[in-house]
Amino acid sequence: MRSKLFLFILIIAVAGIGYSYWQGIIDFTEPEIVFEKKPEYLGTKSTLNFTVRDNNPGIKSVQIYIIQNKNIKILDDLDFPPKLKEKEYSIEINARKLGLRQGKAKLSIVAVDSSLLSNTKNYSVEVKIDLTPPTVAILSSPATIMNGGTGFVFYRTSKDVEKTGVMVGDLEFNCFNGIFKNENIYGCAFPYPYYWNVKKPIIIFAEDKAGNRTSNSLTYYFKKVKYKRSTINITDEFIQTKVKPLSDRDIEDPVELFRYVNIEVRKMNEDQIHEVTKNVTQVKPLFHRPFLQLKNSKMLGGFADYRKYRYKGKIIKGADAYHKGMDFASIKNAPVQAAEDGIVVFTGFIGLYGNSIIIEHGMGVFTLYSHLAEIKVKEGEKVNRGSEIGITDTTGLAVGDHLHFGVLVQGLEVHPIEWLDGKWLRTRFLNEIRRINRLYGGG
């Protein structure tokens, strides 16, 4: 009788233990602590990104400490819903505000699960407290810049820089080393948006691995350019022969069709161009002379012209658009030359722009050639200034045979007129890069 009772109790106990294990009440595994990137430095602006996981029964608490002479608790997270299996953390650390000093410290993260055994994972790693921001010395910057213009900046940093660039208003652009032998010298071309009619701050910044940041503001004169505004008449023939083939929607109303193509399709096409021209692969400048204009051509359409469109005597509301290049016309099917040495990074059809070529010239500078009949180069091909790359036509949303010529700097259109001007290129860029190379570029 006693043996049967003992066996019964044993079965109940085993079943209880099994149930408890299945429910996670009893569990023998520790939580996991997973970092996106193992922390090495903590500074005045550092971020810890990590994930805590516990598959069974879930997370109970997470605590973070920094140990340097004393324990400083950064986080005490005790508020978890039942059986939460995973939580992501992004914790900002300001070592200076925490009273930490320059030198070594230990980062400790303690995660406990909600089982009866309170399994604990203690992740500890040695980190370096860095409170010294990088240095930035500006070597050359633009004295004057216009809306729609291009600026050049060169500067020298300390060796500990992890990220650097230029902020134009709220827009961020990359700057690059490798232009000179001295790897601590950075430079770039950057755009000033054509649609900004007021002066914005231009700031060079540099960050180190600990998140310490240094910023230097550029002093410059802002030249406000007033761009042309015009109204263009739209005919039924134009809508049927040029606009309708560019639409991916079956829109019967001619006004709605034009509005859709000129706004929505145009945006998709320009997003594609911007994506290509944001991707800088050639750091060193391949441009050493003013860009070439289409031979024996006259300008038909100017940069940043703001255009309204009229159909049967009425303005098409909501269809206004900027013209983001210069239109040059010569003879019908005129040969198109590469404006300067470069590498072809795109060839193909881009909707309203028709058959197009994009060439990269280094330091974030690209040229665009559109409305072509024929493309005579391939992606990846090196081209020389003046070599024939295509033939003009009316492909895309073009009236009359011409070349749409654009210059883009790090994904934003700028006025080509500067790049066609030898004096502008010489005084703004060529003289400066020679001076810096002579003074600093050797090491």
pLDDT in tens, 251-277: 999 999 999 999 999 999 999 999 999
> How many degrees, rounded to 5, is the angle at CA 377 between CA 175 and CA 297?
85
Structure tokens at 151: 């600026």
Q: Does the bond joining 201 to the residue before it have cis omega, within 30 degrees of 0?
A: no
pLDDT in tens, 189-203: 999 999 999 999 999
Report the alpha-carbon distance of residue 425 to residue 46 in Å, rounded. Answer: 40
Contact 62, 109 (CB under 8 A): yes
Report the alpha-carbon distance of residue 301 to residue 298 in Å, rounded. Answer: 9
What's 64's DSSP letter? E
**How would residue 20 be classed by pLDDT, with cut points 50, 70 and 90?**
very low
What's 24's DSSP letter? T
335: helix, strand or coil: strand
Closest CA to 118 of 17, 16, 19, 30: 30
Domain boundaries, the chain: 24-129, 136-225+429-439, 229-414
Matching fold, domains 136-225+429-439 and 229-414 = no
> What pLDDT was estimated at residue 441?
64
Mean pLDDT of 84-92: 93
Which CATH number does 24-129 carry? 2.60.40.3880
The CATH fold assigned to 229-414 is: Glucose Permease (Domain IIA) (2.70.70)
Helix (H) or strand (E) holding 221: strand 221-223
> What pLDDT was estimated at residue 2?
56
Structure tokens at 92: 């900002």
Structure tokens at 327: 């239109």
Q: How far is CA 175 from CA 185, 225, 393, in A?
A: 10, 26, 37
Residue type present at position 23: Q
Percent of the chain with pLDDT over 90: 83
Which residues neighbour 6 within 8 Å (Cβ) at sequence distance 6 or greater?
A: none
| Beta strand 150-157 pairing with 185-191 | antiparallel
> What pLDDT was estimated at residue 24?
47
**pTM of the predicted structure, to 2 decimals:** 0.86
The CATH fold assigned to 136-225+429-439 is: Immunoglobulin-like (2.60.40)
